[in-house]
Amino acid sequence: MTFSEDPINTLENLIAKNKTKNISIYLVLILAILIFLALLPVIKIDISSQSRGIVRSTTDNVPVTSLVNGKVTFVNLKNNSIVQKGDTLVQLTQENLDTEKATNQEVSSTVQDQVNDLSLVILSKSNTLKVANNDNQA
């Protein structure tokens, strides 16, 4: 590249002119990056994800029920804790359970006795009908 011998357009003058422009461009870029980094904690971006499950607020109560009655002796429940299958959450006394078991056995034996009585009544009625049918045929 050839330059004219003009003192204004010498290589040194051209470098000096362009150098101030380059420095200003770099300064603007560095300033923009610093402003961006300073604003990162302030900028909020909504992030969404998809998953299966039920979303409940922290104020909702989730009922925990038991199939049996008893007095609670041990509770291992904590707010917002993860529970795995088989974890012991609550322990109950067996006093009421033993009473209920005895009551259920008594009711079961009573019902079994009633079933036996009804079967005897049905057998006696069928025998009576057979005897009556035999008398009518003779």
DSSP of 76-96:
---TT----TT---EEE-SHH
Q: What's the pLDDT at 93? A: 79
- State the residue for tokens 């322990």: 91
- Kind plus residue range of the DSSP H or E element containing 73: strand 72-75
- To which residue do tokens 């402003």 refer? 35
pTM, rounded to two decimals: 0.32
Arithmetic mean of pLDDT over the chain: 79
Residue pair 91/73 in contact (Cβ under 8 Å)? The answer is yes
* pLDDT > 60? residue 1: no
pLDDT in tens, 28-74: 999 999 999 999 888 887 777 777 877 777 777 777 677 777 778 88
Q: Which residue has the tokens 């009585």?
A: 117
Q: Enumerate residues 6+ apart whose C-beta is below 8 A from 15.
A: none
Q: How far apart are CA 16 and CA 11, in angstroms?
A: 9
Residues 6+ apart with CB under 8 A from 10: 3
Residue 70 contacts residue 93 (beta carbons within 8 Å):
yes
